[in-house]
Amino acid sequence: MTTAPTPTKAGGLRPADPDNDLLRVENLRVGFGEKRDVTEIVHGVSFSLAPGECLAIVGESGSGKSVTARTLVGLTGGKSHVTADRLQFGDRDLRAFKDRDWRGLRGKDIGFILQDALVSLDQLRPVGKEIDEALRLHDWGSKAERHDRVLELMELVGIPEPAVRAKQRPDELSGGLRQRALIAAAIAMDPQLIIADEPTTALDMTVQAQVLEQLQEAKKRGKALILISHDLAVVSQLADTVAVMFNGDILEYAPAAQLFSHPEHPYTRRLIEAIPSADSRGRRLSPVDRRHSLGEARADETADAPVLKAERLFKSFRGPDGVDRTVVNDVSFELRQGETLGVVGESGSGKTTTARLALALLEVDGGGITLAGEEWSGLPERERRKRRADISVIYQDPLSSFDPRWTVEQIMLDALGEGYDKKIDRRARIAELLEMVGLEKEHLGRRPLQLSGGQRQRVAIARALGPQPRVIVCDEPVSALDVSIQAQVLDLLVDLQEELNVSYLFISHDLGVIHHISDRVLVMSDGKVVEFGDADDVLLRPHHPYTRKLVASLPVLERPEPTGPRPFGRPPRAAGPEYTEEMAA
């Protein structure tokens, strides 16, 4: 299973070019552990890169993509074992490098951009100093020259008012500016190679577009770029070549255009299939077949009336400076039985606050909400408690929404509450719920920490379904999941809705997800509703300038032609290790 494709074998790739290539990696293996107890994480990958090119390494968590990237800058840590037939940067052999050599290389010849700008920057240091440090460590220029260079760099990466911003600390900057400051530090010494590890993962859509543009600029200046990402759509904006990694192997290695239009490996196909978007509506995202007999739809007498109706909601919070900020400003919407209403907006747009108002976990400052046609937000909590079974919630991070001491069984028993007096009844109901969300009996005894991300979210869905709600508020339910797991969870939500006729108030920052799952869409910005209507109307023919900007910033992936009704009938296999569906489970 270790025959990694060489650049020349995978069809259409240019042959390796020893004179021109900046980076050549052959049969790279990385393991972790002590002495004889070494676990190999990367099983012999090979790739090469020329100046002005962008290689994207794509894969899900645990695929070894970040480890591969870190190996190239010598940051794998003390317990790692790195071997390779070739690990060459320019004319230097990286295999022989000692700590000292790496320090000379990092920042100067290879710039490394880390994922999370908030934790990667020193909280107590102005960002200007941080960028300056990258220069100072390599003895670049005098103090005054460095100062000018820092401002120049900040200008280059598109930070407005560099002189002011340079004196600010990371917590005074927005996420996008922080990420750009990191890029500025990484390119300060004008390195020939820039490695970006998930550079846009924590960012809003419009900010992501700006950061990608910066990387594109660097590429145009002749820099080589390695982009690590789980997001194929992001990758398709920049990459010339794409390597798809799974479990430490490169499964497919091909020019970007070819990989996206004619993916050869089934895993690549599946990844592309799994991306939710406008085109994927009504189609299943995951190859897992639909489960039958998911349960009975609730008999509903009020099918036409809105099940959740919000009218002119207002909510403001007092900031630390004592000034009131209006977070939800005149928001109205209606959610019908069996419908999905998508709420989309960037961070700070008030969508989560709106969700908490709908759940009556926060009191409204103005306006009112009715649930199933009856007063909801205006009731005292004592009255609301009796009707809380009608509306439940799924959070972005299921782990923090479970009591860490409890097993899945305790969580479920707790969720069913008093409605089921006898334990026998409750156990039967739990078994039924677990089956609905695709979990096994054996999961009952586990604690959330012992489950995978997808399984945790399934438990969260089972818990939300427990009280047989009419409405489920889904607050970014798939944002923390890998693409293929996200696909399964979205499919499950769609199935459950069809069977149970439950309504979703679905909150996400991801336009693709929203478009895939929503019947109608509410676009929020700065606490206000900027657009509300049918999903296709809003997202394909946006009227408001903000929605247009949002839609324009969405990286769109050219999709391959669908091959047959379900495209997983094992198309011709590409070179690479055996991939089976079980491996992903």
Partner 1 sequence: MSATPHTVGAPGGAPAPASAPRRVGVPDWVRGVRPGVALAGLVVAFFVVAMIVPSLLTNQDPYAVNLEQTLQSPSWAHIMGTDQSGRDLYARIIYGARESLLIGLGATALGMGVAILLGTLAGLGNKWVDGIISRGVEVMFAFPILLLALLFVAVFGPSVTTEIVAVGLGTAPGYARMVRGQVLSVRDSGYVEAARALGHPYGQIVRRHIFPNAMRPLVVVMTLGVGQSIVWASGIAFLGLGVPPPSPEWGALLNAGRNYVTQAWWLEVMPGVAIVLFSLSLTTLGRHLQQRLEGGVNR
CB of 142: closest distance to partner 1 in angstroms? 42
Mention every residue, 6+ apart, whose C-beta is less than 8 A from residue 235: 56, 58, 227, 229, 242, 256
Q: Which amino acid is at 21?
A: D
Q: Which of 6, 14, 27, 32 binds partner 1 (CB under 8 A)?
A: 32
CA–CA dist 153, 140 (Å, integer): 14
DSSP state of 188: T
CB of 466: closest distance to partner 1 in angstroms? 8
Here's the x/- map for partner 1, 161-200, by CB under 8 A: it reads as ----------------------------------------
Q: Which of 137, 389, 556, 575 binds partner 1 (CB under 8 A)?
A: 389
Q: By CB under 8 A, what part of segment 397-416 binds partner 1?
A: 397, 400-405, 414-415
CB of 125: closest distance to partner 1 in angstroms? 27
Q: Which of 386, 422, 423, 570 binds partner 1 (CB under 8 A)?
A: 386
Among candidate residues 352, 563, 315, 338, the one with its CA nearest the CA of residue 474? 352
Q: By CB under 8 A, what part of segment 63-102 binds partner 1?
A: 63, 66-67
Q: Give me the phi and psi of 543, to 5 degrees please.
A: -100, -45
Alpha helices by DSSP H, 33-81: 65-71
Is 417 among the residues that bind partner 1 (CB under 8 A)?
Answer: yes
CB of 385: closest distance to partner 1 in angstroms? 5
CB of 401: closest distance to partner 1 in angstroms? 4
Identify the helix (H) or strand (E) that includes residue 254. Answer: strand 249-255
Q: Which two tokens stand for residue 379?
A: 């009731």
Q: Which residues of 249-260 are buried (b: 16+ CB within 10 A; e: fewer)?
A: bbbbbbbbebbb
Is 385 among the residues that bind partner 1 (CB under 8 A)?
Answer: yes
Complex with partner 1: residue 2 or 563, whichever CB lies closer: 2
Q: Which of 118, 361, 552, 585 binds partner 1 (CB under 8 A)?
A: 361
Mention every residue, 6+ apart, whose C-beta is less than 8 A from residue 585: none
Q: Which amino acid is at 286?
A: S
CB of 512: closest distance to partner 1 in angstroms? 23
Q: Which amino acid is at 218?
A: A
Q: Which two tokens stand for residue 51?
A: 């100046």
Q: Which amino acid is at 166?
A: A
C-beta separation of 493 from 518 below 8 A: no
Q: By CB under 8 A, what part of segment 438-497 binds partner 1?
A: 446, 449-453, 463, 467
CB of 412: closest distance to partner 1 in angstroms? 11
CB atoms within 10 A of CB 51: 16
Complex with partner 1: residue 327 or 391, whichever CB lies closer: 391
Complex with partner 1: residue 10 or 483, whichever CB lies closer: 483
Complex with partner 1: residue 191 or 248, whichever CB lies closer: 248
Q: Which of 4, 28, 41, 114 binds partner 1 (CB under 8 A)?
A: 41
Here's the x/- map for partner 1, 302-341, by CB under 8 A: it reads as ----------------------------------------
| Binding span for partner 1 by CB under 8 A among 20-28, 62-70, 178-186, 498-506 | 62-70
Q: Which two tokens stand for residue 191?
A: 């390195």
Mention every residue, 6+ apart, whose C-beta is less than 8 A from residue 388: 467
Among candidate residues 182, 212, 213, 214, the one with its CA nearest the CA of residue 200? 212
CA–CA dist 287, 568 (Å, integer): 7
Identify the helix (H) or strand (E) that includes residue 504. Answer: strand 503-508
Is 564 among the residues that bind partner 1 (CB under 8 A)?
Answer: no
Residues binding partner 1: number (CB under 8 A) = 41
Binding residues (CB under 8 A) for partner 1: these are: 32-33, 37, 39, 41, 60-63, 66-67, 359, 361, 384-389, 391-393, 395, 397, 400-405, 414-415, 417, 446, 449-453, 463, 467
